[in-house]
Structure 1
């Protein structure tokens, strides 16, 4: 195969892979957007709305700010383990999402529907997670699946982190 033919074939392959990636991303976003959700947040927290934009770009959602009681009470009521707490909590289609969980992980949860999982969490507020983008800085973090039987790593970010 000549260099010119190889280059043409390689470019076609790259375009096909890029298109496949776009279709997959659209499917993940659509799965999350199709599910109604309620987000609970502290009115003083600025990153919560940025995360909501990441999860449901332009979609209507219900946000409950908690001025009448502490977020810790809301989290306890919803079953969020103390060790996994972050700034905001979301209830979606029977699951609890705590903190800066990427949209694609929520879509995966809603697609797979593991019976032993109550929800997903990103503990704390790691830089580079959705809603916490600060000048390109990224801290490795894990998405944790939790439920009555305990917790386990659902995904690691950046993807090469373990």
Structure 2
């Protein structure tokens, strides 16, 4: 059975024969179609934190529509949204039915939205060097955690914004 979201070899060869401009056009349309399915995200950040802005730019570069709210009392935001203290970071987002805590890469959020695992959301505890919004220095390997359905568990390991 043919998968309508994944072109088969015949389609790709046809696009290549038609020329690179058509191939780029088809890829762009498919990327926009996925981006349009992303729900909007609301991000709460401490007004004194600079890295949150860079994380939001990372999300926007990956097709997310983000609204930012400055929240002087981030502890209250995290408590209201059910973020465990041990998974805390500097900013907190809401997207669909999920909470996103800290410097979670866009690709992990896209996977979360596609797979819809049981849980409250994703978190990157602390502020790992090299994670989205924390670029600079020698990038660390860090864990993205799924939380809210029992004990927090790994959702993936990343270096910068790429799975490892």
TM over 0.5: yes
Q: CA deviation at 1:108?
A: 0.3
Q: Deviations over 1:3-37 (max 9, x none)?
A: xxxxxxxxxxxxxxxx9xxx6xx859944872111
Asked if the contact 1:101–1:130 (Cα under 8 Å) also holds between the matched residues in 2, the reply is yes
- Measure the CA separation in 2 of the matches of 1:100 and 1:37: 14
- Measure the CA separation in 1 of the matches of 2:153 and 2:80: 21
- Measure the CA separation in 1 of the matches of 2:32 and 2:153: 22
Structure 1 runs (4+) deviating above 2 angstroms are: 26-34, 57-61
Pick the aligned partner of 1:96 from 80, 99, 112: 99
Gaps of 5+ in 2: 1-22
Which structure has more relative contact order (CA 8 Å, sep 6+)? It is 1
- Corresponding residue for 2:67? 62
- Measure the CA separation in 1 of the matches of 2:119 and 2:64: 26
Asked if the contact 2:35–2:64 (Cα under 8 Å) also holds between the matched residues in 1, the reply is no
More divergent stretch after superposition (142-151 vs 93-102): 142-151
Pick the aligned partner of 1:46 from 36, 47, 50: 50
Asked if the contact 1:89–1:96 (Cα under 8 Å) also holds between the matched residues in 2, the reply is yes
Task: Count the aligned residue pairs.
Answer: 133
- Measure the CA separation in 1 of the matches of 2:33 and 2:129: 22
- Corresponding residue for 1:117? 119
- Corresponding residue for 1:5? none
- Corresponding residue for 2:87? 84
- Measure the CA separation in 2 of the matches of 1:29 and 1:101: 23
Gaps of 5+ in 1: 1-18
- Corresponding residue for 1:7? none
Asked if the contact 2:38–2:64 (Cα under 8 Å) also holds between the matched residues in 1, the reply is no
What SS does the aligned partner of 2:53 have? helix
TM-score, with length taken from structure 1: 0.74
CA change 1:150–1:27 in 2 (3 A) is: farther
- Measure the CA separation in 1 of the matches of 2:36 and 2:143: 20
What SS does the aligned partner of 1:107 have? helix
